[in-house]
Every structure is written in structure tokens, then in C-alpha cells.
Amino acid sequence: MDNVRKTAFSGVQPTGRITLGNYLGAIRNWRPLQDEYNCLYCVVDLHSLTVTQVPAELRKNTMDLVALYIACGIDPDKSSLFIQSHVHEHAELTWILDTIAYVGEMNRMTQFKDKSRKHADNINMGLMNYPVLMASDILLYQTDLVPVGKDQLQHLELARNLAERFNNRYSPTFVVPEALCFQNGCSIKSLQEPTAKMSKSDPNENAVITLFDDPDTIRRKLRRAVTDCCSEVRFAEDKPAISNLLTIYSLTADESIADAEKRFDGCGYGVFKDAVADAVISVVEPIQREQKRLAADKSYLENVLKQGAEQAERTARKTLDKVYRKIGLIGRVR
């Protein structure tokens, strides 16, 4: 890795239905960083085990997501693209950070509380430990910048706290990372309940646009999206549904919200929703085509992953060796 450039790291769980929210809130913002930062983009398969997975599906979803990263513009020659479980240092650092993370602070994580409610029959230790694994992902690479959606900011704050706590206890070791969260798009909402985020795990299919939906499905879901009172296309706090659709339109049509408001002034919701559908389809369709092509080329993907894991591991090993030394473990003679 280039030692002069700063480092950016991010990841998505391979849990199947990658949503338009994942794309607009996170993945879309990764590509522009590649020319300025050492970028590491990871498919976080270990994280997804906190919810029961069907092994064959997890394998397929993982490779599909690798292909999707590349289809979204992640260039394996510029960034390290790898699978989390291929670099075992992630799990090892998690154990060390576990010993400085407090049960009280883990209990306060809102996503842990949400997921515990949703998966009441499977509140496993991994679910609680999940943010520490995420902190390890980030801290292993001395990451400066973490491009994520709004729902991950609390986890990022924990990563910062753990880095500072470790640095204070054992002397400076980790870079304290910053979040990169674009105000516009950092929280894309459900199409059916626009005060809740658009979520992969939403059981209501109509609430979520996935990056694997075909054009007709995308159009149908948008036509069925709930709206607010009055037929005005305006971004406002008391119009959460239309504001969400305006955000989606603005990001996919690459037009400011103010210009979009002018464009759809007096048009009514039907015309507006169709325009949102056109804009979303024009972004999603080429990605889907490229993703499909890449997913069929298994040997190419395997090469990308081999190279990515090798690059990532060099930095991860260095950080972990340093951590082990600082806390008093005897370094292995190699």
C-alpha cells in the first residue's frame, strides 16, 4: 500500500437483497475515493453469520456481492477487494478489542437492540459482539475514512472509542477513524413506511428496491410507494414519503432537489413516480448487466479475491503484531 495516501475502508454484508439504500448510502460513494485513498472494500461474511444463514445461499451471495462491487465501479487494480474471512486477523483483533469493550456500551448499541427484537429466538453472542468485529475491520488497516450510511455511525463511534481507549492504555497504536456520511442519501427510507430506513431484512418486499430487481419490479414498487397528503412534489419534514422519493430521484438522475422540485411542480405524484422509476432503472440496469457478466467469470473473481486478501493481509498482520507486542504477548519467531 502507498504510505503517503490516507486509507479508506468499508464493507457490506452478503445477505442477499442488497438494496438501493446500500448503494446510494454507501457503495456509490466508494468509487470516487479510489484515486485519492488506499481503499479496502470488504465483503463482510463473518458479520452475516450473526443471523442464521443457509450455507449454499451465503456462498452464492458472497460471490454475487464481489461481482456487484466491481460492477459498481470498484477497480481491483486500484482497491483491495476481499472477503473478510480470508484475512483471519479480523477475528483475532476482535478478541483483543473484546477485552477492552464494556458490556454496558455494547448493550446500548441501537442495532443490537433492534436485531434482538427481530431475532428474539436467536440473540447470540455474535449479535452483541458485531460492532467490535466492525471496529477490528476498520482499525486493522489504520483507516482514516469510513464511507457508510447513517445507521452505522454509532458503530463507528464505538470503533473510535476503542481505538482511543487502546491508545491511551498502551501508547498510540491505532489511527482514530472518521466517518464519511453524505447528508443526501445517508438514510434512504422504506417505500412503505418512510420514517423507517430501507432495510435488507424488511419482510415487506414492496418497501425495498434491491439492486437485483428487474425494471418492471422497480417501476411497480415505486408506483405503489406510499405518498403524503396533497399532490405537491416538495422536500419537507412533513412530507417524508415524497422527500425520500425526491432524494432517490436526485441521486439517480444527478439533479439537485431544488431543480427536481421545479421540474415536477404541478405534475402530480403519478408522473413524478414514473420519472423516479426511469432514473433508478437507468442506474441499476447497467450495474445488473455487468454484475451478471462478472458473476459468471468465477476464475476472474477468485483471482481478484486472492490478490485483495494478500494485499490486505500484509497491513493487517503488521497491525496485529504491533498490538500483540504492546499488550505483552510474545511475538512468534518466523
Question: In the 8-state DSSP scheme, what is residue 210?
Answer: B
Interaction between residue 187 and ligand TYM (CB under 6 A): yes
Interaction between residue 44 and ligand TYM (CB under 6 A): yes
Binding residue (CB under 6 A) for ligand TYM from 149, 221, 275, 295: 149
Question: Rounded to 5 degrees, what are φ and ψ at 146?
Answer: -125, 100
Q: What is the distance between the alpha carbons of residues 63 and 44, in angstroms, rounded to a whole number?
A: 12
User: E strands within the chain?
Assistant: 7-12, 38-43, 79-83, 145-147, 178-180
Nearest approach, Cβ of residue 8 and ligand TYM (Å)? 10
Asked if 9 contacts 138 with a C-beta cutoff of 8 angstroms, the reply is yes
Interaction between residue 127 and ligand TYM (CB under 6 A): no
CB-wise, 241 or 303, nearer to ligand TYM?
241
Interaction between residue 12 and ligand TYM (CB under 6 A): yes
CB-wise, 125 or 229, nearer to ligand TYM?
125
Candidate segments 19-27, 73-81, 220-228, 258-266, binder of ligand TYM by CB under 6 A? 19-27
Q: Which residue has the cell 418512510?
A: 194
Q: How many CA atoms lie within 13 A of 72 on its CB side?
A: 25
Is 197 part of the annotated catalytic residue set? yes
Distances 112 to 101, 149, 226, 270 between C-alpha atoms, Å: 15, 17, 28, 38
Largest CA distance in the chain: 73
Interaction between residue 194 and ligand TYM (CB under 6 A): no
CB-wise, 97 or 198, nearer to ligand TYM?
198
Beta bridge partners of 19: 210
Catalytic residue among 6, 78, 200, 326: 200
Binding residue (CB under 6 A) for ligand TYM from 13, 192, 210, 315: 13
The C-alpha cell that represents 118 in the structure block: 427481530
DSSP 156-187: HHHHHHHHHHHHHHHSS-S---EEE--TTTSS
CB-wise, 196 or 230, nearer to ligand TYM?
196
The C-alpha cell that represents 308 in the structure block: 485483495
Binding residue (CB under 6 A) for ligand TYM from 72, 134, 225, 275: 134
CB-wise, 248 or 304, nearer to ligand TYM?
248
Interaction between residue 141 and ligand TYM (CB under 6 A): no
Nearest approach, Cβ of residue 49 and ligand TYM (Å)? 12
From the list 153, 172, 179, the residue with the least C-alpha distance to 319 is 172
The C-alpha cell that represents 47 in the structure block: 458479520
Binding residue (CB under 6 A) for ligand TYM from 148, 209, 281, 323: 148
The C-alpha cell that represents 27 in the structure block: 457503495
Side by side, which strands form the sheet with 178-180?
Answer: 79-83, 38-43, 7-12, 145-147, 178-180
Binding residue (CB under 6 A) for ligand TYM from 72, 93, 127, 198: 198
Catalytic residue among 197, 221, 239, 273: 197
Q: What is the distance between the alpha carbons of residues 269 and 219, in angstroms, rounded to a whole number?
A: 13
Interaction between residue 146 and ligand TYM (CB under 6 A): yes
CB-wise, 41 or 231, nearer to ligand TYM?
41
CB-wise, 114 or 297, nearer to ligand TYM?
114
Q: What is the distance between the alpha carbons of residues 88 and 91, in angstroms, rounded to a whole number?
A: 6
Is 115 part of the annotated catalytic residue set? yes
Is 150 part of the annotated catalytic residue set? no
Nearest approach, Cβ of residue 268 and ligand TYM (Å)? 26
Q: Given the rule CB under 6 A, which residues bind ligand TYM?
A: 9-13, 21-22, 25-26, 44, 47, 134, 137-138, 146, 148-149, 151-152, 155, 186-188, 197-198
Residues annotated as catalytic are 115, 197, 200
